[in-house]
Structure 1
Amino acid sequence: MLKSIEHYDERRDHIPSAISDLDADVVCLQEVWFEDDVKKIIKETRDSFPSSYSALHDDNGDLDTGNFNKPLCFGFRAYKRILCSLTKCSNTANNAEYIACAAERCGLMKLDQKCISCLILTPASSILQTCITDITQTVNSPGLLLLSKSPLRNPSTTRYIPDTKQVLPRSYLMADVERIGKVVCTHLTSNLGEYYEPLLSFASWEEQQAEEVDHLLTLTAPMTQVVLMGDLNTGPENAENGITGEFEENYNLLTSEGLSSLYNEDPGLCTWCKENPITDQSYNVRLLLDHVMVKGMNAVSAQRLLDDNIEGQSFPLSDHYAVGVTVDV
């Protein structure tokens, strides 16, 4: 069983136990943004998934547990730029205007990439503690974490655009898993409205995602057996299930090159759903964004998972439901 789950920070304490209970061989998580969460999940799921990998692991696949001696945002110039962004840009109308203001007036993109990521991923009320004063914290900027029952061989992390600072840098993890083959865990660019990556030349989020899809197709073309899993932020229209297409041309590119998605055919349910109380309720749509796509193997069943509310709560584990696919290997 292969599953893809999106991590939502407000439900962080419930995630390890939910993952441990899954009948899965490999799990791909997204939005595990900080070192503390990576360590917590790995520690509390180790009995079920003894192997793990993230961008915070070293070349040998071991998680560095050493302490750091300076915060993610360090130095007077960094503090000055952060204060400028929080004060001079606080009245902007949306994310695009805020990033443009912070970049043009305050030099946001001159900060270290890990500092930029921390500022974007941290609520304003917690920036002082998380980004400016904590000397032991680091950011898992791709937000990705792979867990596996079997050893993860030859693990690697790759940025889609490696040499340019980004507000939201995107990456993929890749590893060899016994009997399964290559596993690629990723979180592609999402539809965030008006485009706001100051240092990139794309005209839209869809165009940036198309570049990432092209990278994945080039990567997987020579592979005979591969699993692509994660929140791909693209999916087909399915009128029968009330699902709206999202960057559908990019999804069609993936499926036209040998990657198949049984889940899209059956059960074909939304994974980002307007009925979920923790989705952005201003978007009155159902989307199928999360996928486990396979090439060179037979997918025999698929299902939506973790779509019930947390026990004793009125909300589920995440704003995205999980996808599970069983393959015959």
Structure 2
Amino acid sequence: MTRPVPVFRESSAEPRTEALPFSHLSLEIGHLYMEDIVEGPERLRRHFATVRPWVDAVRSGLGTSHTGTRPRVSTCFLIDDYFSRLAPPHELLPSLVQEAARAGLTLDYLARESACATAPAGAREVIHPAESVAARLVESPPPASSGFRPPVSRTGWLSNGRRSPAQRTSAALDPTTAVWHPPTETGARGHSVFMDVELWNETAGQRTWSCAFLAAVWQLVRLGLLRDDGRTILKPVAWQGPDFPEEWDALPAVLQLNPRAAPFTAYTTCSVLPGRFLPVEHAVRVILDQVHVEQGPLEQTAQRSAAEHVDVPAGIADRVSYVFPPGL
């Protein structure tokens, strides 16, 4: 009779996935450039007045959850402090909060876009969410791919299909006999809608993440699908008030303005955005379709939603929805 052999594992080899609370929906009621906000209260007033009926429509469209309870919805607003910082938060944010309230909107969470690139994770520690997501990109190989295309880790470009050839196919390089092939979308239905997305560029060794890539990180954060060795990243910090700080870096990555807010992370997201963001959000979906998400967060979402009898799409990009109101 053989005796069982004990197996020892390092606990650090299997990091525990920190549990998160979930709303049914994370509703983004604004994502403005710094240039928009510095225009003043009138600009913000127009924005929230236009957004308000669409926010009401999204909420009413949820009805009641399968458990018969009122759906948990949290609202958020993303500030672009990554590409420009034209004014400090203590000058800009009071009018933002006031104008949202004037329109009858409750602003639960305020987030900084720069935190999707680099954010504090402790007294002396920082994390790099964008780098973490970039390391998890798994390109979808297009049909009949030859492997000629350099990987996204080298180029910083990600597509949803097969690009046009980058070199002539004629052996003699004769332009009169060169063959051109159109780009094709992977999984196209009838006709292709091909997209090539720039994720970052570099100048003098300094990497600048694209708006589309940071927006993809933002969606993953709201869906509760990003972790750092199992730990939650960009965890909301309660606002101590009454004044906002004088420096953007002194503002928490995600600031909880409403103490009674539903959880920041949610099973699904919806963003009410100006139409100019439509191509950016198309790019976001291309990115989300090619991100390998850790199994721990995926299982946590699946278990929680199943316990509440809430159907959550299997595809990450399918958990994200948008409203593009006219005139916004």
Fold shared per TM-score above 0.5 = no
Greater RCO (Cα-Cα under 8 Å, separation 6 or more): 2
Decide which structure has the larger Cα Rg and report it: 2
